[in-house]
Structure 1
Amino acid sequence: MILVWDPLVRVIHWTLAALVLGNFLNEDGTAWHRYAGYTAAGLVATRLLWGCVSRGHAGFRRWWPGFPGILAYVRASLRGQAKRTLGINPAGAAMAATIWLLVLAMGVTGWMMGLDAFWGESWLEALHAALAYLLLACAGMHVCAVLAMSFAHRENLPRAMVTGRKKAGTPAADETVE
């Protein structure tokens, strides 16, 4: 077993998951809801900075294959031919980026709802709610994909995100994006 996910990545991942779920279940407009939302946006900003400076599997230069690589991986997954990756797979990278963008957009729209210029604007409240449901759908797809890949590759991916460790594979598996 080798260390793939460092402690910062794991703490951000699980804390963000808890905050998103908590905020979805919590009543809008409460102080807890606002602070949890701002904390979630701050965690995403921290993760983005860490991705820019990290040289490990958390670093973006190691896991962003571009849209052709993402599409190729999704097609291979649908055929049951997706290769195992040691770090994040291309579809997972795309989902992570989508989730992070949604969390940031929700942080901005939530902040805007507190400004005098946008107070009580129904379009902004509707946008914030739509982003929340889209985020929930993406989180659900993420969980389903993690379970599917865990089954397909006979590897407990949720445990890897808790411990940070995965079984070492072939050297090529570390860089596979197709």
Structure 2
Amino acid sequence: MTDHRIWDPFVRAFHWSVAAGFLANALLIEDDSKLHEWVGYAILTLLGLRILWGFIGPKSARFSSFWPTRTGVTEQLSDLATRRRKAHLGHTPLGALMILNLFLSLLAIGLTGWMMTTNTFWGVEWVEEAHEALVTWAEISVVLHVAAVIWESWRTGVNLPQAMITGTKRVPDDVKLVP
């Protein structure tokens, strides 16, 4: 096993804070409560900070280091189909697509949630329906994300949840590393 320091403290704190906030708002906190609203604003604030960090943070946190390309996605799909074991130092191309999906979904959830608090959109049915549909989409995306993390951890031998806790990816020596 070879250790690679990859996830900085801010990226890890962001990941787990947004995960906790989303789960709390989606499953535990009453939808019409002020707490629900404030947790939503906290998630939006964290997203704003993470987007900024994607431009000024360390290399592994920068969007330029993991922006998905057609070639990268095709190669990863080919690796999956042929059972080639490759570990990506940062995010995989498919993982990067999921990140973009989750960022955009959470931003849209936050926007529609905020819209529901304004005089212009308060009680407007399509805004509430859009908010609920986006939450459902994000919930499906989170389930797919967690399933993919478990699958890739098993397939590559890299404990991805542990890496998001410690910041270090432990890559088996027999797995090809993709920078």
TM normalised by structure 1 equals 0.91
1:5 — aligned with what? 7
Dislocated runs of 4+, deviation >3 Å: none
Give the % identical residues. 37
Once residues 78 and 145 of structure 1 are traced to their aligned partners in structure 2, the CA distance between those partners, rounded to angstroms, is: 15
1:30 — aligned with what? 33
Tell me if structure 2 keeps the 8 A contact 1:109–1:124.
Answer: yes
Q: Does the C-alpha gap of structure 1 residues 93 and 43 become closer, same or farther in structure 2, counting only changes over 3 Å? A: same
1:55 maps to amino acid: P
Q: How much has 1:56 moved relative to structure 2? A: 2.1
Q: How much has 1:53 moved relative to structure 2? A: 1.3
Matched residue SS, 2:11: helix
Match of residue 17, structure 2, among 15, 18, 30: 15
1:173 — aligned with what? 177
Larger % of strand: which? 2
Residues paired across the two proteins, number = 174
2:89 maps to amino acid: L
Alpha-carbon RMSD across the aligned residues, in angstroms, is 1.7
Once residues 133 and 82 of structure 1 are traced to their aligned partners in structure 2, the CA distance between those partners, rounded to angstroms, is: 32
TM normalised by structure 2 equals 0.90
2:25 maps to amino acid: N
Tell me whether 1:99 sits opposite 2:96 in the alignment.
Answer: no
1:140 — aligned with what? 143
Q: How much has 1:71 moved relative to structure 2? A: 3.6
2:121 — aligned with what? 118
Matched residue SS, 2:87: coil
Q: Does the C-alpha gap of structure 1 residues 7 and 129 become closer, same or farther in structure 2, counting only changes over 3 Å? A: same
Tell me if structure 1 keeps the 8 A contact 2:86–2:177.
Answer: yes
Tell me if structure 1 keeps the 8 A contact 2:30–2:36.
Answer: yes
Once residues 112 and 138 of structure 2 are traced to their aligned partners in structure 1, the CA distance between those partners, rounded to angstroms, is: 14
